Amino acid sequence: MGAGYPDAEYEAAGIWVMNGQKMIQLAPETPSEISHGGFIGPWGIGKVATTARLTGIQSQLQLSNAKPEFFLYLKTTGMELAGATTPAEVTLAQFTVLGKDDKHNPDQRAVDMAIHGEYGSSYGVDRKATRVFETTPVADGIYKLVPKAGLADGEYAFCAGANPVAMTGQYQYFTFGVHTK
């Protein structure tokens, strides 16, 4: 492909990021815990959330660019990315970091993956945590992903797979942090 882009013939399915002049593959993490919490009142008013929790307050990969360029490899050498077959099945989420100032929670990153309330339920990454990215096809099964707006300092993951609330290998969180300061 040239121009420093990774070549699908040689790279594994996954998400890669251009970090300076080097391509780095994002490591997938599996939640250490899927928790269910919230409040249902005497008349059923309230909400209950299903939350994916990852161990530690920081991802292994830390970036200094607020608009990094990512490359999504859906299918290469017969492998698929966590069951995702299109970029529409991949979501960019910002995690809430817990534990820094809270003695009751261990150090972890968390994101709500389902919300149930009196008037219905929603599944998938909580809309408040979702970040929009632009998708550009690069080659067959390869897409360039760039956040539409600069990412605030924090912890993120591309969430990919068929079942976001199951704690299985079918759903993966490709994690990274952004720290521009």
pLDDT in tens, 80-125: 666 677 888 888 999 888 876 666 567 888 777 765 555 555 556 7
> With the CA atoms of 165, 166, 172 and 173 taken in that order, what torsion angle do they form, in degrees rounded to the nearest 10?
40
Q: What is the mean pLDDT of residues 117-135?
A: 73
Q: How confident is the model at residue 145 (pLDDT cuts 50, 70, 90)?
A: very high
Number of Cβ within 10 Å of residue 135's Cβ equals 15
| Sequence-ordered list of residues with C-beta below 8 angstroms from that of 41, at least 6 positions apart, any chain | none
Q: How many Å apart are CA 72 and CA 81, to the nearest integer?
A: 9
75 and 11 Cβ atoms separated by less than 8 Å: no
